[in-house]
A and B are shown apart, each in its own frame.
Chain A
Amino acid sequence: MELFANLAHGFAVAFSPINLLMCLIGALVGTLVGVLPGIGTIATVAMLLPITFGLPPVGALIMLAGIYYGAQYGGSTTSILVNIPGEATSVVTALDGHQMAKQGRAGPALAIAAIGSFFAGCVATVLIAVLGAPLTKLALAFGPAEYFSLMVLGLIFAVVLAKGSVLKAVAMIVFGLLLSMVGSDIETGASRMAFNIPELADGLGFATVAMGVFGFAEIIRNLDHGAEMDRNLVQQKITGLMPTRKDLVDSTPAILRGTVLGSILGILPGGGAVIASFAAYTLEKKLAKDPSRFGRGAIEGVASPESANNAAAQTSFIPLLTLGIPPNAVMALMVGAMTIHGIVPGPQVMQKQPDLVWGMIASMWIGNLMLIIINLPLVGIWVRLLRVPYRLMFPSIVVFCAIGIYSVNNAPVDVVLAGAFGLVGYWLIKHDFEPAPLLLGMVLGPLMEENLRRALLISRGDWSVFLSRPLSAVLLAIAAGLLVLAVLPALRAKRDEVFVESEG
């Protein structure tokens, strides 16, 4: 079997001492990046890229890959402990993860996130090795029309995952879409809602808004008098560190479903991994016997999106390895790393650089093993962090957030903007608006707009293109189905159960 020969070769490459060390460094740095709020993978990989120029190419890429998927492990930590998602892909983890922490179940939440990630990582590694080449066709089959329809579906997910009023969720999505429109118009280059501030010319950063509405707003709320009890609750009532047998039984199907969804959606360039985590959460909520548990600390709501984002982070390497085309910003930096080392990424990279490709694939499995070994014992330490008095904790969170936001673009304006979004976020929390749909709207907005305009440019303004292309039509049909469920009065009772279980 050629596959086994290739994998054996890959493991031989990955098990060399230098590559094992690189893999470990990557996994450690990735975990750290994921844990520190505001410090994102793109900024880290960009900063570390020049350091790798002195390293052998395979080791350099193994390390950079480790940072990328390692961050998906760490990203859940702050979501769960302090309700601040470190990455766009762990926004949904905060919904149930932080509720679990409030109930003293931070340990099981962190552990199940690590276990889910490990399982998904292993499956995705095998998937890359076995199905890498055929799956590439899926990435190519997705044209502008398909992307637009996928983004529509993504926004519908945002409505479904909202636990309060549907109207408020829709308002938040629209607000997120509006925020995403700040910056240069893609087609004409004209400046939109940038108010002549040069830093706004490239739009609002995800980290800026996320740290504001989640991070700073959460801190302001915690410093509120009314929140005193709530806070003490998080600090004092810690029961067991590891998941119980029941937790594992509940999580297993969720992890499996999350892994499948994540593996498929991760291949799509752009927002694949983000959509994957939202889709996984939505699916769990729809399949659950008692959807009202979601948003109140359901362990499936942590297990499924965390598996999905890790699977997606890994399968997003497929277009890079088989086509030589980077599907997202981190991958584009990896292409840069290859170019600097004299490796030209392209469709022949698998034949010409078997050491690199198979070594990287094998290192992913090793890296995942390292990550779970690093992360499971860390659960105890993270949970102990919750016992740190809040008067010491919140200044450190503010400092880390500020450093993180500044480091993305080296722009002081971003930190000021995050502060402003903190106030906005506080107002929203006080009025029972949820920030998660806002962030999804903001992440999906540009992809949706760009692909809508591209699709219409190519079809010369003919809207039927969204229905005449089969993939696009299927995606829209699913979206319409979900929407009908929400709107039709005949299904009101059903809808109440699905969407507004916790109103009031």
Chain B
Amino acid sequence: MMSIRSLAGACLSAFAALSAFAAPASAQNYPTRTITMIVPFAAGGPTDVISRIVTAHMAQTLGQSIVIENVVGAGGTTATTRAARAANDGYTLITGHMGTHAASVPLYPKLAYHPEKDFEPVALLAGTPILILARKDFPPKDLKEFVAYVKANAEKVNAAHAGIGSVSHASCELLNSILDVKPVGVPFNGTGPAMNALVAGQVDYMCDQIVNAVPQINAGTIKAYAVATPERNPSLPNVPTTTEAGLPAFQAQAWNAVFAPKGTSPAIIATLNAAAIKALDDENVRKRLLELGSVIPAPANRTPEALATLVKNEIAKWTPVLKPAS
């Protein structure tokens, strides 16, 4: 026998479901159904892993499940276009990153969306720092020698990257523009093959996200000159920052952040932002993100406004660097 209370509860939730169907943009009792989080890269990549760790906790806070949908292709811009055109009811979100919401602007002249005009920023999740890496027998011993060597041998050195538009490509272009060198850039199809070439010594140096590089550095198959963040990373305590090593201008990390389609109600954004912040303060979430070598944003950088500023600054930072390349 079903008790009166549970029957009443069932009626209520049925009513709630109906009204949610009738007025999907209703912000008061958001969320009333499953939320879809689009991840613009394949399952298992850094953006995907960070999204899964954080959204699992957000789902508990929000009381609704969050389904991750991996939509791949065209450097993440296919997925981002889809998110930009989705209903702005708070039930379709996207984990954008440095590439989809900043570097794509100069790289794809016919981009079907604009990161600032077509999205509402929700919350910055985590960043993965960029390292300056080289094959293990590359002559320079530290970053100072590296800078001098690359400048003196700009004609001879090869820099690998994981394909046009990838994080490793964008950050290497930034490094080269700071050093004012134009080494030959050797494109690979993804980080794996590029790392393979670096381990095998077929190319001289590259810039890559910390997740991929830590095990190789610890095994001594490649070497790292510096990490391009203000602080050293706990997973590589012996690798100096670019500031310590004498190249403070080179600052780069592949940040990941949640965005909603333009016009999503401020109340929904606030609910989502609070859930994301709560996740970032959770001990278990922090532990898992730190294990990946990620950097968790400071409280001041977690607001939607701070994310809007970050996107603006990042577009301004990458546009002059990547424009000539495309």
With a CB–CB cut-off of 8 A, which chain A residues contact B78? 198, 201
Beyond A139-B196, A186-B164, whether A333 also contacts B43 by CB under 8 A is: yes
CA distance A457 to B219 in the complex (A): 29
B189 at the interface (CB under 8 A from A): yes
- Please name the 7 residue pairs, one residue from A and one from B, whose CB atoms are nearest each other, closest first: A336-B44, A346-B215, A189-B164, A347-B219, A140-B200, A49-B43, A143-B202
- Some 19 contacts from A to B, beta carbons below 8 A apart, are A46-B43, A143-B200, A187-B185, A188-B326, A189-B326, A201-B74, A202-B74, A319-B196, A323-B196, A323-B221, A325-B199, A332-B190, A336-B42, A336-B44, A337-B44, A347-B215, A347-B216, A410-B71, A458-B186
Q: Contact: A189 with B165, CB < 8 Å?
A: yes
Would you call A332 and B192 a contact (CB within 8 A)? yes
Question: Does B193 sit at the interface, judged by CB under 8 A?
Answer: yes
- Say whether A186 contacts B44, CB under 8 Å: no
Q: Residue B187 at the A interface, CB < 8 A?
A: yes
A269 to B193, Cβ gap below 8 A?
A: yes
Q: A349's closest neighbor in chain B, by CB?
A: B215
B48 contact set on A, CB distance < 8 A = 336
What 1/0 flags go to B48-88 for Cβ under 8 Å of A?
11001000000000000000101111100010010000000
B19 within 8 A of A: no
The answer to whether the Cβ of A239 comes within 8 Å of any Cβ in the partner chain is no
Of B49, B71, B325, chain A has the most CB atoms within 10 Å of the CB of B49
- Give A51 Cβ to nearest chain B Cβ, in Å: 10
Q: Is B163 an interface residue (CB 8 A)?
A: yes
User: CB-CB < 8 A to A143: which residues of B?
Assistant: 197, 200, 202
- Whether the Cβ atoms of B44 and A348 lie closer than 8 Å is no
B184: contacting residue among A198, A345, A460, CB under 8 A: A460
For the complex, give the distance between the alpha carbons of A346 and B195 in Å.
11
B158 contacts chain A at the CB level, 8 A cutoff: yes
- Give min CB distance, A302 to chain B, whole Å: 32
CB of A335 within 8 A of chain B?
Answer: yes
Residues of chain B with a CB closer than 8 A to A335's CB: 44, 192
Say whether B224 faces chain A, with CB atoms less than 8 Å apart: no
Min CB gap B106→A, angstroms = 11
Looking at the assembled complex, report how far the CB atom of A150 sits from the nearest CB atom of chain B, in whole angstroms. 15
Q: Given contact pairs A198-B81, A332-B190, enumerate 5 new A-B contacts (beta carbons under 8 Å).
A: A143-B197, A186-B164, A325-B196, A339-B49, A345-B215
Across the interface, do A141 and B200 meet the contact criterion of CB distance under 8 Å? Answer: yes
A49 touches B44 (CB 8 A): yes
Give bound CA distance, A350 to B73, whole Å. Answer: 33
Chain A residue at smallest Cβ distance from B67: A50
Give the chain A neighbours of B215 by CB distance below 8 A. Answer: 324, 344-349
Residue of A nearest to B322 (CB): A189
Which chain A residues (428-472) contact chain B, with CB distance < 8 Å?
Answer: 450, 453-454, 457-458, 460
- Is A184 a contact partner of B164 (Cβ separation < 8 A)? yes
Residue of B nearest to A326 (CB): B192
- C-alpha gap A119/B221 in the complex (Å): 35
Which residue of the partner chain A has the closest CB to B48? A336
Hey, what's the 0/1 contact readout for A394-437 against B, CB within 8 Å counting as 1? 00000000000000011000000000000000000000000000
Q: How far is the CA of A410 from the CA of B42 in the complex (A)?
A: 13
